[in-house]
Structure 1
Amino acid sequence: MSVKLGNCVRVLFQGDSITDAGRDRGDDSSLGNGYVSLVAEKLTAANPARRVLNRGIAGNRVADLRARWQQDTLDAGPDLLSVMVGINDTWRRYDEGAVTTAEEYERDYRAILGQARDAGARLVLVEPFLVPLDANQWAWREDLDPRIHAVRRLAAEFDAALLAADGLLNQAAREAGDPAAIARDGVHLTPAGHACLAAAWLRLLGADTGAAAGV
């Protein structure tokens, strides 16, 4: 089954800093300054009754999402849920020595998706990604790539839409001639990177007729 936006009224985005994008966590309507705000501009212009929520929190790993899943996801009652998480599960291995195995990552991810599916949400899974700036970051791929494969398996298992963000953003970096033009530190997106991701999300959900501002 192809997941499309259809008549979904409540659209919720979950994840880490890339989704968070500096949102005001004290304001439920704050969307941050990244791809979520670009997507929301288009979705609400097409349907003013639609509400877009951003519940991303910078630094989160999948276990953090699982710990706050009920309050920050299920209680909001989304019709459509978009999730991107995993780069911090990799990053913390290299900067803090905190290891989340690919098996643990997939276990926790499967658990939260199962709860969301049981609550009736349509699912969109956005791959975690890395746009390496140097040889040290290329070494991270050993840890990240199994997580990307896990997300692809989970998308098939849960009949979710899959946004293959890793390939998309690395291709955009090659076209730009500089990875830092897309992700300033290999992870956090520039305005161009956010625009690329937003445009791909809208295409995936069949909501790309007439570009949103900045997309």
Structure 2
Amino acid sequence: MTAEVPRGGRVLFIGDSITDAGRDRSCGADLGTGYAMMAGAWFTARHPGHRATFLNRGVSGDRVRDLRARWEQDCLALAPQVVSVLIGINDTWQRYTRDDPTNAADFARDYRHILEGTHRLGARLVLVEPFLVPLDDEQRGWRADLDPKVEVVRKLAAEFDATLVAVDDLFQAAEVDDRVWTRDGVHPTPFGHALIAQAWLRAATPAA
């Protein structure tokens, strides 16, 4: 199922550092240097007459609870027609680096809360799976925590009739040196961002 971007519509990318990608916070229109910028740029290059507007409200370090806390200001107040969410890797990462876990039930509760509010806007939802490209055995162990969260996102996509962008599967299926996609297992290289952007563009199409 694809998400239709209405003519003249507003598309919001929101999430953690992978979405943030160094965006200039002083400029509300800056898309950073990652997949959000690439997807917005290519969509516009392909459909210049569609005149869609793209916004980025990624914040580095965010977990789903942080996204919930700022959802009113950074999502609902902007009244987007399409909302693209990528969140979850910090909910796993901080279990292992800060001994501060987020269990799958709490993750699902907070994620569902933001989707319920957005659904009432009538916005089209695009859910991008959290992902991991493990570079060593320690990071491979993180899958035990991340996999249930990926499954939560997949179930919520079905529950809310959202478009799912299955990038976790995409990275796992790509048969290349893992360091092509990321240098730390979490943050994409430009090539990794391009892979996400391509998947996003396959999932989002201009409305007639």
The reply to whether TM is greater than 0.5 is yes
TM range, smaller chain: over 0.9
% identity of equivalent residues = 53
Q: Where in structure 2 are there 5+ consecutive unaligned residues?
A: none
In structure 1, the partner of 2:19 is 19
In structure 2, the partner of 1:30 is 30
In structure 1, how many angstroms separate the alpha carbons of the residues matched to 2:86 and 2:2? 19
In structure 1, how many angstroms separate the alpha carbons of the residues matched to 2:48 and 2:118? 24
CA displacement 1:129-173 (0-9 Å, x = unmatched): 00000000000000000000000000000000001110101222x
Contact 1:34–1:194 at 8 Å: present in 2 too?
yes
In structure 1, the partner of 2:193 is 194
In structure 1, the partner of 2:3 is 3
Deviation at 1:43, TM superposition (A): 2.4
In structure 2, how many angstroms separate the alpha carbons of the residues matched to 1:52 and 1:26? 16
In structure 2, how many angstroms separate the alpha carbons of the residues matched to 1:80 and 1:27? 20
In structure 2, how many angstroms separate the alpha carbons of the residues matched to 1:129 and 1:72? 23
Contact 1:12–1:54 at 8 Å: present in 2 too?
yes
Q: Where in structure 1 are there 5+ consecutive unaligned residues?
A: 208-215
Number of matched pairs: 204
In structure 2, how many angstroms separate the alpha carbons of the residues matched to 1:206 and 1:2? 7
**Structure 1 residues 31 and 2, CA gap change in structure 2 (3 angstroms):** closer
| Higher-RCO chain (CA-CA 8 Å, sequence separation at least 6) | 2
In structure 1, how many angstroms separate the alpha carbons of the residues matched to 2:8 and 2:96? 39
Deviation at 1:3, TM superposition (A): 2.7
Deviation at 1:182, TM superposition (A): 0.4
Deviation at 1:95, TM superposition (A): 0.2
Q: Aligned letter for 1:32?
A: G
Deviation at 1:2, TM superposition (A): 4.7
Q: Aligned letter for 2:52?
A: R
Deviation at 1:194, TM superposition (A): 0.6
The two structures have a TM-score, normalised by structure 2, of 0.94
In structure 1, the partner of 2:68 is 66
In structure 2, how many angstroms separate the alpha carbons of the residues matched to 1:68 and 1:205? 25
Over the aligned positions, Cα root-mean-square deviation in angstroms equals 1.3
In structure 2, the partner of 1:210 is none
